C-alpha cells in the first residue's frame, strides 16, 4: 500500500489505474535492482572474495534481466486488457527474486546482499497480481 500511496497519481486512480501504477513500480524496482547488482560486481567490495559470490551476483543479474523482460511483456498484455497474461508474466518475474535469493543459500554461512531488494520486489509483484485479479 505504501508504494502505491507514494505515487502521485494513485489518489485519483481506479482499479485499472492502480494496476498500471503497480506494474510501473515493479519495472522501476527491477531496473533499480539491475543497477544495484552492477555495483555489486566486485564481491570483495562487500566482504567476500570468492567465485561463489561472483556467480551468485551473475545469476541475480540474469534473473532480474529476465524479470524485466517479463514485466515489459506484462505491460503490453495490460494494454490489451489481457489480465490473465499479465498475472502469469508478473508471477514469472517474481520467481526471479526467489531464485536470486536461494542461490546465495547454497553455501552455508554466506549472507545475501540482495535479501531486502528481493523481498521488496516479491511484495511489489504480489501487489500487482492482487490488483490485477480484481480486473479479471
Please check whether residue 103 lies inside any domain of the structure: yes
Please check whether residue 39 lies inside any domain of the structure: yes
Please check whether residue 128 lies inside any domain of the structure: yes
Grid coordinates representing 3 are 508504494
Q: Which residues of the chain have pLDDT under 50?
A: none
**Contact predicate 46/113, CB 8 Å:** yes
Please check whether residue 8 lies inside any domain of the structure: no
CA distance 46 to 75: 35
Please check whether residue 114 lies inside any domain of the structure: yes
pTM for the complete prediction? 0.87
Report DSSP state, residue 135. T
CATH number at residue 88: 1.20.140.40
Residue-number span of the structural domain to which 87 is assigned: 14-133
Please check whether residue 126 lies inside any domain of the structure: yes
Please check whether residue 1 lies inside any domain of the structure: no
What domain count does the chain have? 1
Amino acid at each position: 500500500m505504501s508504494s502505491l500511496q507514494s505515487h502521485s497519481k494513485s489518489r485519483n486512480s481506479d482499479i485499472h489505474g492502480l494496476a498500471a501504477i503497480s506494474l510501473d513500480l515493479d519495472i522501476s524496482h527491477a531496473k533499480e535492482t539491475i543497477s544495484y547488482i552492477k555495483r555489486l560486481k566486485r564481491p570483495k567490495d562487500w566482504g567476500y572474495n570468492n567465485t561463489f559470490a561472483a556467480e551468485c551476483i551473475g545469476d541475480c543479474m540474469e534473473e532480474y534481466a529476465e524479470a524485466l523482460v517479463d514485466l515489459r511483456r506484462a505491460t503490453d498484455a495490460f494494454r490489451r486488457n489481457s489480465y490473465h497474461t499479465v498475472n502469469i508474466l508478473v508471477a514469472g518475474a517474481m520467481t526471479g527474486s526467489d531464485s536470486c535469493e536461494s542461490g546465495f543459500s547454497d553455501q552455508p554461512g554466506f549472507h545475501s546482499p540482495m535479501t531486502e531488494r528481493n523481498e521488496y520486489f516479491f511484495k511489489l509483484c504480489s501487489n500487482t497480481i492482487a490488483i490485477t485479479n480484481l480486473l479479471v
